[in-house]
Structure 1
């Protein structure tokens, strides 16, 4: 299905349809199902753009439906609340991003390097796309986030590291929760620092270098939480970082 876009969305990243692959409801015509899917995508695109402009707390349902050119009542055919549409954005954006991280880390044999690469890319994306950082902070420790997407991948990689005797931790779930908290705190700090730096620094190269160092430092702290010695953790966190493939879902 082609991406459904809104005229305002050209200024920002357009969210691709998170409902791709869904089957029409029983008894629903393909044409009606397509129109329903397009409306849902327009609402998601509008919410994504507005969050970038005003922050999540500053966005209202009425603003979302106006930006999507959708009737106010139609919103509730797709989402039960403002929180519901934000949750849908999180589910789709970070499930796709988790798939991308799997692709980037697929050739790495060391579970510690896998964790470091994923942490660094997550922080760098939050710096590059503040809306994604805001959404992850909002949903990062919810039960849903721990059981899907990035949280589930992190638990899987932690279990692999323990099975291979690479990590030394007493309780992988509690360790993963504390690691997620560390990453979310890092994202929050990075977003705040990025805003301050953009006001004070005009060089994009300088901002990128600072963000990369911040991501490396956070990854080193995370690896120490998994039981690695500090010097080894810092060495792994500074290894060359492969770029996200251009055709991967970002």
Structure 2
């Protein structure tokens, strides 16, 4: 179905990409291309932190370039507009997370468990990284999101389950859209509950247990939408959750 940073990161922490892997990758580029890539990465890093602190609509280009220590005019060497930069940022975040899910599910043979693991990781990340979750809710049903990254992975995994006769659905595309809607609705509900909780700090362990159970229940509902019985869907959704690797660097 995106860590653009680590799924285990504490809630409210700014999204962050590791610099070590980025530095190793950048050394393989010619100096001029490397400098351009590094500047672009700094702009995206700065935008990500500002969005986490202020929200998507409140961030200005001037704030981004100042935080990135880049000249204002240089911004337009990399992006046509602020909206274009946010598009690149969002595409990277969800493409990267889709790759992370592929890595997590690589050892799973049951298409139903692949779907369940993807749903659970998506909801847990949305809850623990609210900025990421808000972007997922905003973009989840956009043509961009459905045509690549998470949307394409979900379609691929559901097609596999159908071809192996593990899933039974009347309409493949509508089943995927309904699953996406279920996950987005679950993410929105979790973020709302988290924001309204006045005892979140003192009850963190209780909340973590609740969010994990909520992710399991949502995964079970998704599997039932693909034709599994309630008993089997709930059994699969409660299986131990494979952990996620560290995130790759910004492009």
Q: TM-score range by the shorter chain?
A: 0.7 to 0.9
Query: Within 5 Å, which residues of 2 pair with 1:1-250?
Result: 12-15=14-17, 30-197=30-197, 199-201=198-200, 202-245=202-245, 247=246, 249=248
Q: In structure 2, what is the Cα distance between the partners aligned to 1:95 and 1:67?
A: 25
Instruction: Tell which has more relative contact order, 1 or 2 (C-alpha 8 A, sep 6+).
Output: 2
Aligned partner of residue 57 in structure 1, secondary structure: coil
* Aligned residue pair count: 231
Say whether the 8 Å CA contact 1:119–1:219 is kept in structure 2: yes
Structure 1 stretch 153-162 or stretch 163-172: which is displaced more?
163-172
Partner SS, residue 136 of structure 1: helix
Q: Secondary structure at the match of 2:57?
A: helix
Judging changes above 3 Å, is the alpha-carbon distance between structure 1 residues 74 and 249 closer, same or farther for their aligned structure 2 residues?
A: closer
- Per-residue CA deviation, residues 209-237 of structure 1 (Å, 9 max, x unaligned), is 11101111111111121122222222211
Q: Give the Cα separation in 1 of the matches to 2:80 and 2:180.
A: 28
Give distance in 1, aligned partners of 2:86 and 2:76: 14
Secondary structure of the residue that 1:240 maps to in structure 2? coil
Question: Shift in Å at residue 171 of structure 1?
Answer: 1.7
Q: Match of 2:241, SS?
A: coil
User: Structure 2 CA distance, aligned partners of 1:46 and 1:179?
Assistant: 33
Q: Which segment drifts farther, 154-163 or 74-83?
A: 74-83
In 1, distance between residues paired with 2:86 and 2:195? 23
The CA RMSD measured in Å over matched residues stands at 2.2
The equivalent of 1:7 in structure 2 is none
Separation in 2, partners of 1:131, 1:177: 23
CA shift, 1:31, in A, is 2.7
Contact 1:104 1:244 in 2 (8 A): yes
Query: In the alignment, which residue of structure 2 is the partner of 1:6?
Result: none
Deviation at 1:49, TM superposition (A): 0.4
Q: TM-score, normalised by structure 2?
A: 0.84
| Whole-angstrom distance in 2 between the partners of 1:231 and 1:151 | 27
The normalised TM-score by structure 1 is 0.84
Describe the SS at the equivalent of 1:200: coil
Q: Which runs of 5+ in 1 are unaligned?
A: 1-10, 25-29
1:34 Cα shift?
A: 1.9
Rounded to whole Å, the distance in 1 between the matches of 2:42 and 2:220 is 40
Deviations along 1:1-24, one digit per CA (max 9) or x if unpaired, are xxxxxxxxxx7342356xx68x97
Instruction: Answer yes or no: is the 8 Å Cα contact 1:86–1:135 preserved in 2.
Output: no
